Amino acid sequence: MTRIAYLLGTCDTKAAEMRYLRDLLHVAGVSAQIVDVGTRSDNQGIADIFAEEVASYHPQGAAAVFVNDRGQAVAGMAEALRHWLPSRQDLGGVLGIGGSGGTALIAPALRELGIGVPKLLVSTIASGNVAPYVGPSDIAMLYSVTDVAGLNRISRQVLGNAAHALAGMLQHQVPSVVTDKQAIGLSMFGVTTSCVNQLCAALEDDYDCLVFHATGTGGRSLEKLADSGMIAGLLDVTTTEICDYFMGGLFSAGATRLDVIAHTTLPYVGSVGALDMVNFGAPETLPPAYRTRLLYEHNPQITLMRTTPEENTRMGLWIGEKLNRSRGPLRFLLPEGGVSALDAPGQPFYNPEANAALFAALEASVEQTPQRRLIRSPHHINDPAFAAQLVEHLHEVMAINSRS
């Protein structure tokens, strides 16, 4: 089957750019089709796939897309595209273009595609915070520099690079790796790197270790893959994104963090890695209420704030409620020696009282059963002995799961 490069854009306003992209891909030897995702039924005579076809995939039909209110129409087309795009059996890759509205329309559909499917988005907002658009997906965003409003010496270069990048992805596919190893998902932060590196070294002979950076998007990506069945077990050592969710930091994974253990029966081994810190930007960006707190400059762009006993109590109760919803075998370990590289004797965030509050809240809230256990450890999170305990409990829950 010929793999098609689908070009997504609103033909009523982006006709010249869409035609330019299609021509470049054809010259490069790639089959490409223009998909009109506009809501004005004006495809300028260039669309290969009309907006009406895409709109028909809306759960409520095309009538839900072609309405008089522009905001509702764009939202409706985004929903229709989210259903239409993954249904394409000949899809090889996707390249979308747009301003703020087009980006918001196209990005949700790209997130529906599997990891590894080539997906690019040329956007006027790609130099800002793109997390809401990329999410836990592997979308490549390219800043348009000028507005996506006609062809000029700048836009031709940027769009040309995007077209050739997509052509390269389609013509030079990454060879598949054949392995019978099950995949294990691990969460890591800089201050728990030593622990996770030890885990990977101990497990690499038996498992394909997938490590996710706990930056908000990383936690969501970890849980998305777990929900999709691509991961056989979780070593969720670093749950620090919960701090940022509670205190308004940069790296929140949102209110759904840890929900995967209620959605699935996956074996789960977790811990409290880096729950001693909240991540903010440069010092001048801190909320005024936090500027007198214990702070640590991680780098010029990231300022860390130590969590208090009161905050740790709140987080511990919240985590405990999440753990109680687990459906599979679960072990959650509490490293009494410290929860991060900064939380150790002589380090700036060392605070046994704060950790004690966290552990007490977890013990008060977790309903322990033979399937669900909370385990105290005398070791620091980065100590080899703690890594060995995590490995031991992972083997245990994996064995339980294989018998069920």
Q: What is the CATH number of the domain that holds 361?
A: 3.40.50.12030
What is the structure's pLDDT at 114?
Answer: 87
Residues 153 and 287 in one domain: no
In angstroms, how far is CA 199 from the centroid of its own chain? 22
- Taking the CA atoms of the chain, what radius of gyration do you get in angstroms? 24
Q: How confident is the model at residue 229 (pLDDT cuts 50, 70, 90)?
A: confident
Given this model, what pLDDT does residue 227 score?
87
Residue 255 has pLDDT above 90, yes or no: yes
pLDDT digits (tens, 9 = 90+) for 16-34: 999 999 999 999 999 999 9
Region 63-84: mean pLDDT is 93
Tell me, yes or no, whether 229 and 333 share the same domain: yes
Q: What is the mean pLDDT of residues 119-133?
A: 91
One domain, residues 160 and 259: no
In a domain, 28, yes or no: yes
pLDDT of residue 215: 92
Which residues face 334 on adjacent strands? 376
Residue 176, pLDDT > 80, answer: no
The answer to whether 232 and 265 have CB atoms below 8 angstroms apart is no
DSSP type of residue 383: S
What's the DSSP call for residue 268? E
Would 176 be classed as within a structural domain? no
Q: Is the domain of 250 the same as that of 156?
A: no
Give yes or no for residue 68 having a pLDDT over 80: yes
Q: Which of 25-39, 60-74, 256-270, 320-334 is least confident? A: 60-74
pLDDT of res. 206: 93
C-alpha dist (Å) from residue 87 to 306, 332, 386? 47, 40, 46
Residues 226 and 119 in one domain: no
Looking at residue 345, its pLDDT comes to: 96
Q: How many domains does the chain have?
A: 2
Last residue of a domain, one of 171, 205, 237: 171
Any idea what DSSP says for residue 207? E
pLDDT above 80: residue 263: yes
Give the model's pLDDT for residue 70. 85
Residue 305 near residue 299, CB atoms below 8 Å: no
Amino acid 322: pLDDT: 98
Q: How confident is the model at residue 191 (pLDDT cuts 50, 70, 90)?
A: very high
Q: In sequence order, what are the residues at sequence separation of 6 or more whose Cβ sits closer than 8 angstroms to the Cβ of residue 266?
A: 226, 231, 232, 233, 234, 260, 328, 401
Q: Are residues 113 and 211 in the same domain?
A: no
Residue 129: pLDDT band (50, 70, 90) is confident
Task: Give the DSSP H/E element, type plus range, for residue 122.
Answer: strand 119-123
The answer to whether 245 and 215 have CB atoms below 8 angstroms apart is no
Average pLDDT over residues 153-165: 96
pLDDT at 262 over 90: yes
Query: Is the same domain home to 89 and 234?
Result: no
| Mean pLDDT score of the chain | 94
C-beta atoms surrounding 353 within 10 Å: 9
* Closest by Cα among 228, 277, 229 to 251: 277
Please report whether residue 367 resides in a domain: yes
The answer as to whether 377 is a domain residue is: yes
74 is in which domain, residue-wise? Answer: 4-171
- Note whether residue 177 is domain-resident: no
Residue 366 phi, psi (nearest 5): -80, 125
Residue 171 · residue 31 · CB < 8 Å: no
Residue tagged 């239409």 (tokens): 84
Assess if residue 192 is contained within a domain.
yes
Report the distance separating Cα 255 and Cα 248, nearest Å. 12
The DSSP code for 49 is: B
- Does residue 103 fall inside a structural domain? yes
CA separation, residue 229 to residues 217, 224, 331 (Å): 19, 9, 20
Residue 171 has pLDDT above 90, yes or no: yes
Q: 103 Cβ partners below 8 Å, 6+ apart?
A: 96, 121, 123, 124, 125, 133
pLDDT at 300: 85
Please tell me the distance from the alpha carbon of residue 288 to that of residue 399, in angstroms, as a whole number: 50
End position of a domain, from candidates 130, 145, 171: 171
Q: What is the pLDDT of residue 106?
A: 96
> What does the buried/exposed string (b/e) look like for 220-252 if buried means 16 or more CB atoms within 10 Å of the residue's CB?
bbbbbbbeeeebbbbbbbbbbbbbbbbbebbbb
Q: Which residues pair with 121 in a beta bridge?
A: 96, 141
Nearest by Cα to 243 from 286, 213, 284, 275: 275
CA nearest 52: which of 68, 67, 41? 41
Residue 401 has pLDDT above 90, yes or no: no
Output the pLDDT for position 311: 98
Which SS3 state, helix, strand or coil, does residue 143 take? strand
For residue 158, what pLDDT is reported? Answer: 96
The confidence score (pLDDT) of residue 64 equals 94
What are 291-294's contacts with CB under 8 Å, separation 24+? 294/348, 294/349
Mean pLDDT confidence for 235-248: 97
pLDDT, average across residues 236-247: 98
Residues 104 and 199 in one domain: no
* Claim to verify: residue 105 and residue 247 sit in the same structural domain: no
Closest CA to 233 of 313, 328, 297: 328
Burial class (CB in 10 A: 0-12, 13-18, 19+), 155: buried
Q: Are residues 111 and 253 in the same domain?
A: no
- Residues 245 and 298 occupy one common structural domain: yes
Look at residues 124, 141, 171 and tell me which one is the last residue of a structural domain. Answer: 171
pLDDT at 174: 84
Residue 389 pLDDT: 98
Average pLDDT over residues 198-221: 94
The number of beta carbons lying within 10 Å of the beta carbon of residue 379 is: 17
Confidence of residue 269 (pLDDT cuts 50, 70, 90): very high
Question: Residue 340 domain-assigned?
Answer: yes
Q: Kindly tell me if the per-residue pLDDT of 123 is higher than 80.
A: yes
What's the pLDDT tens digit per position in 385-400? Answer: 999 999 999 999 999 9
pLDDT band at 175 (very low <50, low <70, confident <90, very high): confident
Cβ neighbours, 10 Å, residue 70: 11
Which pLDDT band, with edges at 50, 70 and 90, does 250 fall under? very high
What is the number of residues in the chain? 404
DSSP 185: E
Residue 27 sits in a domain whose CATH number is 3.40.50.12020
**Same structural domain, 115 and 145:** yes
User: How much of the chain, in percent, has pLDDT values that exceed 70?
Assistant: 99
